[in-house]
Structure 1
Amino acid sequence: MTVAGLARRLGTGDAIVIGLGSMIGAGIFAAFGPAASVAGSGLLIGLAIAAVVAFCNATSSAQLAAQYPLSGGTYLYGRERLGDWAGFLAGWTFVIGKTASCAAMALTFATYAVPAGAAPWVAAAAVIALATVNCFGVTRTATATMVIVSVVLAVLVAVVVVGVAGGDPDASNLTGDLLGHGWYGIAQSAGLLFFAFAGYARIATLGEEVRDPRRAIPRAIVTALGITLVVYVAVGIAALAVLGVDDLASSRSPLADLATAGGGSGWATPVRVGAALAALGALLALIAGIGRTALAMARNGDLPRALSRIAPRHHVPLRAEVSLAAVVVVLVLTVDLRDAIGFSSFGVLLYYLIANAAAWTQGGHDRRYPRALQALGAVGCVVLVATLPVMSIAVGVGVVIVGVGYRMVVLRLARRDPAAEV
């Protein structure tokens, strides 16, 4: 049976935009406060560590995506390079963890956009609207993401300029407490800040829809990561210099505080708008990425095969994305997941650990980067996992156990009736 494929409609610029939309999400509007609380000004070292680990992981993803330009990302790479179980673990943790992240991003958007009582319903409406955009084709996704990213970047530039110009920055805030919280605190801050970079995987999961993938995907991943790093460094330095360690650590909305420190209370609203749009951009890219990974897993029977159907008109995994949207809508209406998705962090690091291991096995003309980068990336993933809260690790392990049990049942049923479909 011939497997229907997705249409290659994305250029390099489109892929870069989707990567930026995935990385420059709502996290940048909140992540620097918690990072400052555990590392002080050492968060700048943490940011550098996170960037190095992200770069190593990104080069592994780029190298693999060039060889395997199909949907699925590390799920596909793990299966091809390390075996079915490695691929399944990567795909399972990605789909389950990022589904929770979708709910969290939807709730984050609604929290910034409307009063608290209406937030769950507005979050559900946002999920339905963005899933609908995705269902009309990946070029619609790229266009919507470009609009959102443009506005968010404009807001971030304005926040930095206004904060630094009018907020009396103090360079001593950048170095006064650099090692005061120790290396464990710095490692914790790296773990907090790493996840703000992790969206470059979305480019790889869309590999089946990118034109000239061997050239375009590696270029898009590295370019999107580089732009994001420049933005994060500028924002981090400005926030730390203007607010200082103590005020930054205690702030619930550090970028709003940075803007108001330089330009007055009138800047609070533009920052809220920017944060809401950033959450929408991350949610849009998440839905697209999860849908493609679910498609790849369904093709191989690791998720119900009904999810592998591709809509013939718009060439999207319609059933996978509609199913995902339905699950996320139920979650946002019934559970507050903003403080309960630590296992998503666990899953992201496991996902990239498998990506680094898979890239290590590549050779010949498929090798684009030295193996030292894959080794460093793998070690970095393990170290950052160790800095996660114990409960996050425990929940992450629980999710893995559930997934392993599910696949064992599926394999047992398949052995009993080879003709049956999951």
Structure 2
Amino acid sequence: MEQLARRLGVTDAVIIGLGSMLGAGVFVVFAPATAAAGSGAGLLVALAVAGFVAYCNATSSARLAARYPESGGTYVYGRERLGPFAGFVAGWGFVVGKTASCAAMALTIGAYLWPGHARPVAVAAVLALTVVNLRGVQKTARATRWLVAVTVTVLLLVAAVGLFGGEFGAARIAEPTGGAGSIDHGLVPVGLLTAAGLLFFAFAGYARIATLGEEVREPERTIPRAVPLALGLVLLTYLALAVVTLAVLGPARLATSTAPLADVVEATGLTGLDRVVRAGATIAVVGVLLALIAGVGRTVLAMARRHDLPGVLAAVHPRHRVPHRAEIAVAAVVTVVVALGDIRHAIGFSSCTVLVYYAITNAAALTLGPDPDRRLPVRSLAALGLVGCLLLVLALPLGSVLAGVGVLAVGALAYLLRR
């Protein structure tokens, strides 16, 4: 079996994790999550809940990735710890969910760059970033490093403008949305869980570090350090920007905003800076999409190696040592979804299938036993992560749950019939 080259260190892995997460929550998810939570305070609580579930999942993912340092993530862990069927459901859920995420990110790029021609721009972005990934994982890490640097600069600019631009009002954070937004939040606890489920979309990128496990140097040491570090940095960034955005716009305006950070700058009266923010948003989402395509391609490679997907996709390029056929196939499917899809529906669908993926991650981690170093209550965290994932799935909008469960069921039925 052809192997990928181990070229990534801790810094590279953290950068890829940051590139996979920064951008999605800030530029896409905050508005529908605020509408679901029903208030600014509710959004912050939901963000903390999503971050805690993500931390539980990250702990389980890091332990399993150190134990099984190869491409595929929970597809591999599920097969090894729970059996082939659990592994297939995890892999299938990841591939279809993250394909929807790729389409959502590509459409976001098109909407920011050229709103009147969003779909053609989205297709062009997918093709261009696939070419970068095909040049090798080091090229991906290098490009992501620059994209993350630009993204962080723009986010710091927005935070500074929001804090010192004269419109910051801490009292706005606790205000209700007043019925704004398109999601019926109903009872407050259900609304909080719905918001947390949607916000989980913004954290799921840390799995990219695990799915690249076959390309990480010293995976037993590198992955357990890189995953929580990347996740912690992103959580702090999201919390800070959520506070600034709520304090400037208020929950009602945020719930219906299509470009929250640009609106923050516009609210301060600094004309022209909103264009800088829109450019920064595009760059941030490009970084997310670059890492997403790489991660999905590696899971497709792992599934093709075990013949759960066509074996022709298991090829590794002899020079660049990347799963070139798998990445080309992913790009082709994303292009089709871009032509037919909708951003908000893609977010809910992706959250549903990826939460199922992480539920299997935590179930697999429970079979590993306690941490020999006794530094963390890893079994308790895995159990909490499993319960949290299932609760967030049930709290998602009904259409997203039906679509996600339906696609998972179709894949599972096809697997059982083939077996």
TM bucket (normalised to shorter chain) is: over 0.9
Q: Distance in 1 between matches of 2:18 and 2:325?
A: 26
* Partner of residue 389, structure 2: 381
Conserved in 2, the CA contact under 8 Å of 1:163 and 1:262?
Answer: yes
Partner of 1:361: 367
Aligned residues: 407
Q: 1:188, 1:338 → 2: CA distance?
A: 17
- Inter-CA distance 186–331: structure 2 relative to 1 (3 Å threshold): closer
Contact 2:25 2:238 in 1 (8 A): no
- Any conservation in 2 of the 1:53–1:380 contact (CA below 8 Å)? yes
Q: Does the residue aligned with 1:4 lie in a helix, a strand or coil?
A: coil
**Cα offset, 1:57, TM superposition:** 0.5
Which residue in the other structure is 1:415 paired with? Answer: none
Using the TM superposition, give the Cα deviation of residue 269 of structure 1 relative to its aligned residue in structure 2, in angstroms: 0.6
Q: How does 1:2-401 map to 2 (within 5 A)?
A: 3-39=1-37, 40-41=39-40, 42-116=42-116, 118-177=117-176, 182-332=188-338, 334-341=339-346, 342-363=348-369, 369-370=376-377, 371-401=379-409
Q: Which amino acid aligns with 1:395?
A: A
Tell me the distance in 2 between the aligned counterparts of 1:375 and 1:34. 28
Q: Is the 8 A contact 1:38 1:181 kept in 2?
A: no
CA contact (8 A) 1:165 1:262 kept: no
* Match in the other structure for 1:404: 412
| CA shift for structure 1 position 31 | 2.0
**TM-score, normalization: structure 1?**
0.93
Q: Distance in 2 between matches of 1:62 and 1:305?
A: 28
Q: Counterparts of 2:186 and 2:272 in 1: how far apart (Å)?
A: 35
Using the TM superposition, name which of 85-94 and 262-271 deviates more.
262-271
Structure 1 gap segments, 5+ residues each: 412-422
Larger deviation: 181-190 or 46-55? Answer: 181-190
Shift of the alpha carbon at 1:296? 0.5
| Counterpart contact for 1:160–1:259, Cα < 8 Å | no
* C-alpha separation in 2, matches of 1:230 and 1:45: 14
Question: Alpha-carbon deviation of 1:380?
Answer: 0.7
TM-score (norm 2): 0.93
Aligned to 1:414: none
Amino acid at match of 2:327: E
RMSD: 1.8
Aligned pair in 2 of structure 1 residues 26, 263: CA closer, same or farther (>3 Å)?
A: farther
Partners of 2:284 and 2:350 lie apart in 1 by 19
Whole-angstrom CA distance in 2 between matches of 1:406 and 1:292: 22
Work out the CA distance in 2 between the residues paired with 1:249 and 1:393.
22
**Matched-pair contact (CA < 8 Å) for 2:359–2:385:** yes
Quote the Cα distance in structure 2 between the aligned partners of 1:72 and 1:153.
29
Point out the more displaced range, 199-208 or 102-111. 102-111
Q: CA deviation at 1:366?
A: 6.8
* 1:195-228 deviation per Cα after TM superposition (whole angstroms, max 9, x unaligned): 1111001110000000011111111101100110
Deviates more, 1:67-76 or 1:387-396: 387-396
Cα 1:121–1:70 change in 2 (3 A) is same
